């Protein structure tokens, strides 16, 4: 079992819909959670971080964390074609604050 698992996709949603990206992790010592967006041919870019159970909203993006169930999700409201990218989930642990463990990513396509 991988430490961080994501649905590989691809995930396809119509423009204007809500895209839901999910990530599960195996280590209960995980404390910080991150979502990166990577456009084709570009480097990953940090778009959301969350540390406490519940929701965190930033514009059209909402990160949700449930430590009891060991999952973190990213919701994208009013999806736009410009949101088409690969989304990487990453996790930090208390005992190694520097290093993140990445999932393999979910590729999202938003169709006009």
Report if residue 46 touches another protein, rule: CB under 8 A: yes
In the numeric block, which tokens belong to residue 68?
């009891």
By CB under 8 A, residue 111 contacts another protein: no
Nearer to another protein, 99 or 112 (CB): 99
- Under rule CB under 8 A, residue 109 binds another protein: no
What b/e readout covers 61-91, taking b as 16+ CB neighbours within 10 angstroms? bbbbbeeeeebbbbbbeebeeebbbbbbbbb
Q: Contact, 108 vs 83, CB < 8 A?
A: yes
Interface pattern 6-45 for another protein (x via CB under 8 A): -------------------------xx-x-x-----xxxx
User: Which of 25/34 has CB closer to another protein?
Assistant: 34
Burial (CB < 10 A; 0-12, 13-18, 19+), residue 95, is exposed
Q: Which residues would be at the binding site for another protein (CB under 8 A)?
A: 31-32, 34, 36, 42-46, 49, 51, 88, 90, 92, 94, 97-100, 102, 104-105
């Amino acid at each position: 079992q991988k430490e961080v698992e994501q649905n590989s996709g691809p995930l396809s949603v119509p423009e204007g819909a809500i895209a839901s990206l999910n990530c599960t992790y195996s280590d209960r010592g995980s404390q910080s959670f991150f979502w990166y967006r990577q456009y084709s041919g570009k480097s990953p870019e940090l778009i959301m971080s969350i540390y406490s159970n519940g929701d965190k909203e930033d514009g059209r993006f909402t990160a949700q964390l449930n430590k009891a169930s060991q999952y973190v999700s990213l919701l994208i409201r009013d999806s736009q074609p410009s949101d088409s990218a690969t989304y990487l989930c990453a996790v930090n642990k208390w005992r190694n604050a520097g290093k993140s463990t990445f999932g393999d990513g979910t590729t999202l396509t938003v169709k006009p």
